[in-house]
Chains A and B, each alone.
Chain A
Amino acid sequence: MSPAAGAGLTVVVVDDSAVQRRFMRAAVEADGDFSVVGEARNGREAVSLVARLRPRAVLMDLDLPVLTGIDAIERIMSASPTPILVYSAFLAGSNNVNALEALAAGAVDVLAKPGPDDTGTLEDYAAALRAKLRVASRVRVITHPRGRLRLQGMAGSAPSLGGGDRRPLRPTAEPDRGDVRLVAVGASTGGPQALLALLARLPADLDQAVLVVQHMAAGFIPGLAAWLDGLVALPVGVGVSGCRLAPGTVTLAPSGSNLLLADDRLRVLCTPPAPGQFHVPGIDATFASVAAVLGDRAIGVLLTGMGRDGAAGLLAMRRRGALTIGQDAATSAVYGMPAAAWALDAVERQLALDQIAPAVLGAVGRALA
């Protein structure tokens, strides 16, 4: 059966709670473009319903009876690949690794359930949910057994553009990149999987520090750090204001503020977002600070994501002589941010995901292990 047509953006809601199903349906259908075409109460029902109805997107709780959310995602992505947006209760004190496991299993994005201490209204939540659902529905998904997410699989799962598209930035000359100290990476939708693919190919004795800005629902960044830390050779942590980035480590920007590079000792500072800044932490802010502090002693990488955050910052880096890399359209879950950067002439090399780590290592005089 082909995906449901003629009903706008069709959605299947999966939750064992009648309250949550009813709320999610109302939140989704408050916009006439959306239509909830089915509801499932457990993971097994979800797998069956998605195969039968072929919705444009699935909105799924992670904590499901009969078949867990993670198992359901794996089966859906194996049998009838569909963009899945998961929501999960953010549990204070927990690293919320389950949410990251869901992304590893093939879910597109994660958001927190409404909580009693949320500052916004339920309508704010509903609007944010629809925005994420709209983005998720546009993501190109592929048959996605879990094994493909592991290192070997990622290397072979996407078409490569060989050496990649490369173009000069007029009128600067090829810079000398003999003293690169930092690799700055920005990502949004589809980012966790792309980050895993990139970081897993960097060696434990890397001489550079890696700074990552990933757009993610507040509270889930520590979970992302814990998840990556368990899967890649480099230690992964969350940055705090005043800390210094050490060579051979990966630091994630925390939720709720921008993480800026403050000086060439690689000290970072958390600063409040600008008024109206949509994505927090912002990639542009971090990249611009890296450009100002390190110039050509940095590498900028802009991975998959909706929107244009990071494009201007990457341009600033390129103008200061940094090597700048954008993920290509073929391997991006959403070719938005890298496309915006490409349009600005901010991207020196546009590469397939599996080519980015070799390019980074090549630029710092290292070979891929």
Chain B
Amino acid sequence: MPDDQDGAGLRRTGPAPSRTLSPELLAGLRTAFAGEVDRRLPRLRRLRQDPDQQVLAQALRDAHSLASSAAVVGADELSRCAARVETGLQRCLSDPAAGFPAPVAADAEQLTALLEGWRPA
């Protein structure tokens, strides 16, 4: 390990800090993200089957968390898609009469597809 780098994987502050995450840290983050995908993907798939408010609320939490975590591991498209789903689900939950509109369902389907295709490496 270089002497200006600590075990946490980010270089210590100093006159010439690194501008990128260390490979070790990034690998660890991606492994952790894979675990989040495995846990949240089945719940997001439930949006395909006429979701009730409880399913929408859980999907909102999942989309919210995935949007942030994906940004950290560099999965930017996935992060943006999850944020769109989160925004759409917030609208659904604030106006239950609106149901689960097609544009939100389409974004959710795209998110599911992106998650299914995501690999840590």
Interface residues of A (CB under 8 A from B): 16-20, 22-23, 25-27, 29-32, 63, 65, 89, 91-94, 113-118, 121-123, 126-127, 130
Q: Are B8 and A26 in contact (CB under 8 A)?
A: yes
Residue of A nearest to B13 (CB): A31
Given known contacts A23-B29, A122-B21, A123-B10, what 11 new A-B pairs fall within 8 Å (CB)?
A17-B65, A18-B35, A22-B32, A26-B9, A31-B13, A32-B6, A116-B71, A116-B77, A121-B19, A123-B19, A127-B17
Q: Using Cβ atoms and an 8 Å threshold, which residues of chain B touch A94?
A: 87, 90
Within the assembled complex, what's the spacing in Å between the Cα atoms of A27 and B21?
10
Chain B: minimal CB distance from A306 (Å): 18
Closest 6 CB pairs of A and B: A30-B10, A116-B76, A19-B69, A26-B8, A116-B79, A29-B8
Q: Is the interface of B mostly helix, strand, loop or mixed?
A: helix
Q: Which residue of B lies closest to A29 (CB)?
A: B8
Q: Which residues of B contact A (CB under 8 A)?
A: 6, 8-13, 17-21, 25, 28-29, 32-33, 35-36, 61, 64-65, 67-73, 76-77, 79-80, 83, 86-87, 90
Residue among A27, A89, A117 with the highest chain B CB neighbour number at 10 A: A89
| Alpha-carbon distance between A19 and B64 when the two chains are bound, in angstroms | 13
A31 and B8 CA atoms in complex are apart in Å by: 10
- Contact call B71/A26, Cβ cutoff below 8 A: no
CB <8 Å contact, A23 and B6:
no
Question: Which A residues lie within 8 Å of B70 (CB)?
Answer: 116
Residue of A nearest to B34 (CB): A19
Q: Which chain B positions have C-beta within 8 A of A91?
A: 83, 86-87, 90
- The complex places the Cα of A89 from the Cα of B82 at a distance, in Å, of 12
**CB-nearest residue of chain B relative to A18?**
B32
A115 CB to closest chain B CB (Å) equals 5
Q: A20, A114, A127 — which one has the most chain B CB atoms within 10 A of its CB?
A: A20
Between A and B, 14 residue pairs with Cβ closer than 8 Å are A16-B65, A17-B65, A19-B72, A19-B73, A26-B8, A27-B10, A30-B10, A32-B12, A89-B64, A91-B90, A93-B87, A113-B71, A116-B70, A118-B71
* Given A18-B35, A20-B69, A31 and B18 contact (CB-CB distance below 8 Å): no
Contact B61 A65 (CB under 8 A): yes
Q: What residues on B are CB-neighbors of A17 within 8 Å?
A: 36, 65, 68-69
A contacts with B: majority SS: loop
Partner of B72, one of A23, A25, A30, A123: A23
**Docked complex Cα distance between A197 and B46 (Å):** 46
Give which listed residue, B11, B36, B68, B80, contacts A113 with CB less than 8 A.
B68
Q: Which residue of A lies closest to B91 (CB)?
A: A93
Complex: chain A residue closest to B66, CB-CB: A17
B68 close to A30 (CB less than 8 A) = no
User: Which residues from chain B contact A19 at a C-beta distance below 8 Å?
Assistant: 29, 32-33, 36, 69, 72-73
**For residue B11, which residues in chain A have a CB less than 8 angstroms away from its CB?**
30, 123
For A89, what are the chain B residues with a Cβ–Cβ distance below 8 Å?
A: 64, 67-68, 83
Contact A18 B36, CB 8 Å, known A65-B61, A116-B79: yes
Identify the closest chain B residue to A88 (Cβ): B68
Q: How far is the CB of B8 from chain A (nearest CB, A)?
A: 4
When chains A and B are docked, how far (Å) is the Cα of A25 from the Cα of B79?
21
Residues of chain B with a CB closer than 8 A to A29's CB: 6, 8, 10
What chain A residues lie within 8 Å of B68 (beta carbons)? 17, 20, 89, 113-115
A308→B50 CA distance, assembly (Å)? 56
